Amino acid sequence: MFAFEHSFLVFLPLALLSVGVAGRSSILPELAKALPEKDVKAIERDAVEIQEVLFPIYRSMPHNRRGQMGSPVVRYLLHRFFMKAGWSVRGLEPDGQGWSTGSPTDMLREGLPKKAKQLFDGKINGEGMNLADVALLAATFRSLVRAEELERLEAIIGFFQSGPWLFGKPVSSVLVERIFEAYTAVHLYGKNISQMTAHEVREVELQAREEYLNLPQLLGLVRDLKQEIIGDGDATFADMARVAEKLGRVFGPAEDRSECQPRKRELVEMEHRSSGRVPIAAFYKAALHDGKWHFGESLAYLRHAGALDETKPGNPQVIIANYINGRANCVDAS
């Protein structure tokens, strides 16, 4: 399944893992020199949580004797982690080309100091990464996503309310709801808010109402989160930032429940012998004759998305999990 550049592969036993082979990252001390202290502390806390989540998968992955993994394995491990959270992350998806193309550090965006990214590049291109390194990479990426969320929120608040709101002026509950309606639409389309006007934000909202049939359910989730965190009263920027962060954590699963799950159920109904696959003839029949127009992607598209199994000549099949997790079928949360 994976190509790995190191000479000796093992599957680490639990006893070896328990002595700390997977538990320390040599990147962290250097990362602390490249990023603000508060950011590093948040990343470190997040990495501990991520490491616990990844541990069961990590145990079954190929390593060298020192517990280190090469780029394809790290990329797959991160893909599994983010897909579990409902996130489709550019740079991690196989896109029909397997796991050996590209580097898992490609997901790190602008906004991370060059020196910090070089730390991860050096490790993945050198001796490989252990579990703690991978968890730190995932946590660093999530910190970049959170920073973008706050920038988006700050810009949208500015469209709705002028004045010294950043200095503690509260925002009314009604206005908070409007702010998050706009926030959700911009998030759906992954727009760069720094390049948008208030009119363009409104246009994106209208577009979302036309194109996302499940938008009312999604906005209902946003209102529930707002109610849970803020309640009915006025809100400060810090209050709204907590809502935005929580929304970022659940955005993928929320979209999955409201739009992706019905589509998944339709595919499972066509599944061939519990194989996790749908024969291509049944897939296209559903589109042409059963009113399921959304199952109309070409073979070339499915192949590029890594959603086409062509191991049996003359009998291609759609891989349900890969199709559902594809960027076009569920909202790209990153």
**Mind listing the pLDDT tens digit for each residue in 162-174?**
654 554 678 889 9
- For residue 27, pLDDT over 70 is answered with yes
| Strand pairing category for 308-309 and 277-279 | unpaired
Q: What is the mean pLDDT of residues 57-70?
A: 84
How far apart, in whole angstroms, are the C-alpha atoms of residue 260 and residue 266? 10
- For residue 140, pLDDT over 70 is answered with yes
**What's the longest Cα–Cα distance across the chain?**
66
Question: H-type helices in the chain, by residue range?
Answer: 14-16, 28-34, 37-59, 71-84, 114-125, 131-160, 173-189, 198-211, 215-229, 237-255, 261-269, 280-289, 299-304, 320-324
pLDDT at 5: 39
Cβ–Cβ under 8 Å, residues 180 and 128: no
Closest C-alpha to 50, from 89, 17, 23: 23
Mean pLDDT of the chain: 80
Provide CB contacts within 8 A for 236, sequence distance 6+: 168, 169, 170, 171
pLDDT greater at residue 289 or residue 201: 201
Task: Give, as one character, the DSSP assignment of residue 3.
Answer: -
Closest C-alpha to 131, from 252, 279, 26: 26
pLDDT confidence tier of residue 187, bands split at 50, 70 and 90:
confident
Q: Which of 97-111, 205-219, 234-248, 250-264 ranks highest by mean pLDDT? A: 234-248
Burial of 179 from C-beta contacts in 10 A (0-12 / 13-18 / 19+): buried
Q: Domain limits of the chain? A: 14-144, 161-258, 270-324
pLDDT greater at residue 88 or residue 282: 282
pLDDT greater at residue 216 or residue 251: 216
Alpha carbon 5 to chain centroid, angstroms: 27
Q: Which of 78-82, 159-163, 239-243, 294-298 ranks highest by mean pLDDT? A: 239-243
How far apart, in whole angstroms, are the C-alpha atoms of residue 250 and residue 324? 17
Q: What is the mean pLDDT of residues 107-113?
A: 77
Helix (H) or strand (E) segment spanning residue 318:
strand 317-319
Query: In the sheet that 277-279 helps form, which strands lie side by side, from edge to edge?
Result: 277-279, 317-319, 308-309
Residues above pLDDT 90, as percent of the chain: 31
